[in-house]
Amino acid sequence: MLERVKEFLASLNNSQEEQVPMSFATALAALMVEVMRADNEIVPQELDMVAKLLQRQCQLSAQSSELIRTEALQLVDTAIDLHRFIKVVNEHTDEQARIEVIELMWLVAFSDGKLDPQEDYTVRKIAGLMYVAHADFITAKLRAKDALSIAD
């Protein structure tokens, strides 16, 4: 019995070591997908916004951004938590860039014309995990709201 447990734990370690490193674009897409899915309703405007933001932020073609978005949807479906994605984004960004990432999250949240409380909570949680100060979190929210001309 103990031998089977050891084999199982060894197989877990081997599978974790074999994981391909995640790209910044994929991690960023996964975080945007998490915001998009927070209200349990995925609408075309949100899907389009994620692809558009990936194109702009990561200098990707339309086809590449859609492929990464699709991969991110699958990754988020099987993810236990967001830490894997947050870690990659944090490793590739400085403080100012992390604030810009939070602004992207807000753009996704506002893209359907309304802000669901679960979307707000998800962006807030991601901002905390990325060590973005509350004042910067609010500034990013206001900039995104202004960019999309969302009324209160």
Q: How far apart are CA 48 and CA 41, in angstroms?
A: 14
* Per-residue tens of pLDDT for the chain, all 152 residues: 667 656 766 666 554 444 668 899 999 999 999 999 999 988 999 999 999 999 999 999 999 999 999 999 999 999 989 999 999 999 999 999 999 999 999 999 999 988 999 999 999 999 999 999 999 999 999 999 998 886 55
Q: What's the confidence (pLDDT) of residue 56?
A: 93
Q: What's the confidence (pLDDT) of residue 75?
A: 92
Q: What's the confidence (pLDDT) of residue 18?
A: 45
Q: Identify residue 117 by its one-letter amino acid code.
A: P
Q: What's the confidence (pLDDT) of residue 20?
A: 65
| Collapsed DSSP state (helix, strand, coil) of residue 60 | coil
Give the contacts of 10 (CB within 8 A, at least 6 positions apart): none
Q: What's the confidence (pLDDT) of residue 106?
A: 97
| DSSP letters for 64-91 | HHHHHHHHHHHHHHH-S-SHHHHHHHHH
Q: How far apart are CA 36 and CA 138, in angstroms?
A: 19
Domain architecture of the chain: domains with CATH: 23-147 (1.10.3680.10)
Of 150, 119, 121, give the one whose Cα is nearest residue 36.
Answer: 119
Q: Is 131 left (phi over 0), alpha (psi -120 to 50) or beta?
A: left
Q: What's the confidence (pLDDT) of residue 6?
A: 62
Q: What's the confidence (pLDDT) of residue 148?
A: 84
Q: Tell me, what DSSP letter sits at residue 18? A: T
| Collapsed DSSP state (helix, strand, coil) of residue 128 | helix
Q: Do 116 and 38 touch, CB atoms closer than 8 A? A: yes
